[in-house]
Every structure is written in structure tokens, then in C-alpha cells.
Amino acid sequence: MIISVLAAADQIRAAVPCSLLSFSMVPFATISLGIGAVSWVVPRKTTQFLDNTLYRAYMRLCLFVFENLSGVQLKLYGDVEQLRQKPESALVLANHQSDVDWAVIVMLAQRQGAEGNDAGFRVMVKHVIHYVPLFGWYIFQDGFQLITLLMFVLNCLYYSLGLSQHGYIYVRRFGEFLSAPVLKQLAWLDTIDEKFWLLVFPEGTRYSLKRKENILVSQEFCRRKGIPEFKNVLSPRAGGAFMALENLESLDAVYDVTIAYGQTRLPNRRGLAPNMFEFCCGSPAAKTLSVHVKRYPAEQLHKNSRKELQDWIIQAYYEKDRLLDEFHKTGEFPDPVSVNEPAVSLFRTLPPTLFFAAALVAPFYSPTVRSAYFYTMASFPLLILWLEVKKCA
């Protein structure tokens, strides 16, 4: 009986943080729609500030879950001190092995400058992400402040589909690649008056021994190119990075980031990175996160041709392969900077967490909030239709 209760409690412990992140998208999207509504009558800079504040709050909720709550030991290597110095616009190239990888980059962004650059975090994502309820709409931006006005008849609530300042870039992995939407998003990103990070996974999908078909495709690519096969990563492609470098003149730097999870050094776990549940609630003995950063000035790569950039990325991934080999042997990367990095302060992450927790409780006590959330969720099909009309990818 006691064992069953403990097992159930452990499952709940794993489900709570991920559920908090997922359900918080309802108040998040409701507030975002409200910001869009007031953008009819308030200055652009005001709505930009409000949207940045909202987005930063959600990113810090994520940091609370993946850093404070998980208790992970973060180890930083390489050009970390250069990264810390001041906020800058950067293209981030990272190896991809888990659905936690993006959160690792947010951890790095939070450590840039005095206040962090987590509000500047963007990702080049798969086209199918736009079907994710509410969030898929929020992260798209095509440069227009207001697109349309929806009237929810009950309670006569008006919401404008105001676009967020956090335009992620959708790309198609299958079928015909459409460059126009990507170029449009990049052009918008290059005009914003704030520092941003654009995360690109050149492998295109996650490396995992459970996904043998991806490894076979990578090996075939290497054979076709006449180059050695990779062992710990998939063969990278330069398309997304090249388009970003070619069209983002405001870039200050390129960060080459290599991520390694302590769980992959457990018996029979090499090549099997933790998922969100395992990362947050896995064995404390292996809960380490090692991150190696190599910084390149953007001008060093801006003028490369696509072939030159492809060759450079391939060499960078051979270096990642070597770093990961060393990690699996020793548990460390070279060039240590902070092997016991303090977690982000609770003064930064706890207030947004309490805010979203309160926002999730609010509909149980307020019919107005309950109605607002209902209309937000009911609008999801219309938001997806709007993305299809706008041809987001």
C-alpha cells in the first residue's frame, strides 16, 4: 500500500511541473489577446513593453521548472564569460537530443547581461508547431501590429489578434520548402529595436538511439558526401543557418552550443537523453547539465557562401562529436568556467510562477475570468485558420 502511494506521488510530482507549463498557456494567451486589444489605442512601445513582460514571465516560469524545481547541477564551459558580458543579438546553433534543449538555451540567455536576455529568445521551429494550441499562434509574427478583431458575443468581449513581439520562424521539414515566409519573418526580426537570440537546430530533428531511421539518414548523407560518419549527433544542414546569416544584418555573434545530459552516462543510457519528465524528476545522482559555448563574431561568418557555411557547420559538428565523446568518458567538457553554476535566483522566477499559478486558480472564483478563458480556448480554431491564411511556413 505504502509503495503504491509513493509510486503515485512520484508520478504526480513529475506531471505537475509540465502541466503547469501547458495549462499556463491559457491565461498567457488570454492576456496576449488583451494586449492586442488595447494596442488599438495605446502606443506601439507600450504594447511592446507589455508583451515583452508577459513573454519574459513565461520564460521565467520555464526556468523555475527546469532549473529551480529540477535541482539540476549546471556546468558551463568555453566562452561563457564573453556570453555573460552584455546582451547581444546572436544566432545559436545547438545539438538536438531532447525536448529540453530549448530550455537549456533559455538558461544561457538568462545569464547574459545584468537582467538576462530571456525575453529575446526565439527559435526556428518545425511547421507543425503552429498546431500547438494557442502557443503556435502567439509565436508567429509577420510584422503587422493588428490583423483582425474578433467579437465574442457573450459578455461582448472584444479581442484583437495583435501579434506578439516574439516571432518564431516556421520551416517545413517535409514537402515543398517555401522560402518566402522564412525570409519575411527574418526581415521582421532584423528590424526590431532589441537584442534577440535565434536558436537553430541544424540537425533538423533529435538524435536518439530510439530513432534509428534518423541515424540511417545521417549515415547515408555522410557516405554520399564522402565524409566520416557522426557518432553522437546527426549530420547537420546549413539551410536555416545560412538564411539567418544572410538576412540578419543586426547579428552580433554566433554561439556554437554543445549540450550534454548527465543521465546519458547512466548504464545503457548513452544516446538516450532525458525527456522533460526525466529531466525534472530523474535520479539526483545523474542530474547534471553540461553546456559548452564557442562564440564567433557574426562578421566572421556573414560573408561565407552556402557551401563554405555547410563545410564550417560540418566541422563544428565533428568538434561536437569529439566533445560528447570526451563527456561520455570523463563526465566533463574541456575549458571549464563554472562547474557548479548557481541556479537562477528565485527572486526572478518565483513571482512569475506564483502569478501563473494564481491565474490558473482564478477561474474557480471569478465567472469573468472563466468566461475569458473559455473564449480564448474557443478561438483556437480561428487562430489556426489565421496562420493558414497568413501562410506561416
- pLDDT tens, residue by residue, 355-367: 999 999 999 999 9
Q: What pLDDT sits at residue 148?
A: 33
pLDDT in tens, 230-239: 999 999 988 8
Element (H, E) at 292: strand 288-297
Provide the mean pLDDT of the chain: 81
Measured in whole angstroms, the distance separating CA 124 from the mean position of its chain's CA atoms is 9
SS3 content of the chain, % helix, strand, coil (to 5): 55, 15, 30
In percent, how much of the chain has pLDDT > 90?
46
Q: What pLDDT sits at residue 389?
A: 52
Q: How confident is the model at residue 16 (pLDDT cuts 50, 70, 90)?
A: low
The domains of the chain are located at: 2-390
pLDDT in tens, 128-137: 555 454 554 5
- Provide the 3-class DSSP secondary structure of residue 188: helix
- DSSP string of 143-174, one letter each residue: S-SEEEEEEETGGGEEEEEEPPS---EEE-SS
Nearest to 163 by CA among 27, 24, 51, 45: 51
Bridge partners (DSSP) listed for residue 149: 160
pTM of the full structure: 0.86
- Provide the 3-class DSSP secondary structure of residue 199: strand
